[in-house]
Chains A and B, each alone.
Chain A
Amino acid sequence: EAAVTQSPRNKVAVTGGKVTLSCNQTNNHNNMYWYRQDTGHGLRLIHYSYGAGSTEKGDIPDGYKASRPSQENFSLILELATPSQTSVYFCASGERARGDSDYTFGSGTRLLVI
């Protein structure tokens, strides 16, 4: 079954440390996305990608980097983690819609920065 898998599911990081969140999709979708979800803000787009080797800035990219080494994998990197980056992060994959949505989300990574 096509899916989006995120790892780790939960992560505790120290302030100033490096954090890498991983995402793998088996949907063969070109586009992949990273969102964070916070109470009162909904889902906010951090970075996205059109395909292997491409990364684009979303609406809140500051403090985050992204890497798309292959069609299947898309990582979100926090080089110097801060407590304000404590959140739930969701990865999604999708295609340019041809009439219906192919946007598939992973189960999320809960990150706590202390």
Chain B
Amino acid sequence: QQKVQQSPESLSVPEGGMASFNCTSSDRNFQYFWWYRQHSGEGPKALMSIFSDGDKKEGRFTAHLNKASLHVSLHIRDSQPSDSALYFCAASEPPDTNAYKVIFGKGTHLHVLP
């Protein structure tokens, strides 16, 4: 079973609209979360991390984490065509453990329509 589940698989929003993604970890050992973005033909690039309950805002991007349910979401306001990409949720073990594996979800394709 996939340890990191993402939804939806694909999402289309109009330019200027709000895009929202969801992610859940099924393993309580993996409760430190990141969001990555991958444009076509490139490697993934880190957008932001979130380790504590609540919201974290960076520019147009806001992440929300509920540690009790191991659910994290990402919201992009004022979406731009350049935001069209594959968005990955990633979860890791506590950063002070030797294992420190990072597990990725399958990703959500975002299409921002001009």
A interface list, Cβ under 8 A from B: 4, 31, 33, 35, 40-45, 48, 50, 58-59, 90, 92, 94, 96-101, 103-108
Contacts and interface: CB of A to CB of B under 8 A. Distances in A.
Interface of B: 32, 34, 36, 41-46, 48-49, 51, 88, 90, 92, 95-96, 98, 100-107
A103 B51 contact: no
B48 to A, nearest CB: 8
A29 to B, nearest CB: 11
A31 B104 CA distance: 17
Contacts, number: 57
Nearest to B97: A96
B96 A96 contact: yes
A37 to B, nearest CB: 9
B63 to A, nearest CB: 12
A94 B44 CA distance: 13
Closest 7 CB pairs of A and B: A105-B43, A42-B106, A43-B104, A97-B95, A101-B46, A96-B95, A101-B49
Contacts of B98: 50
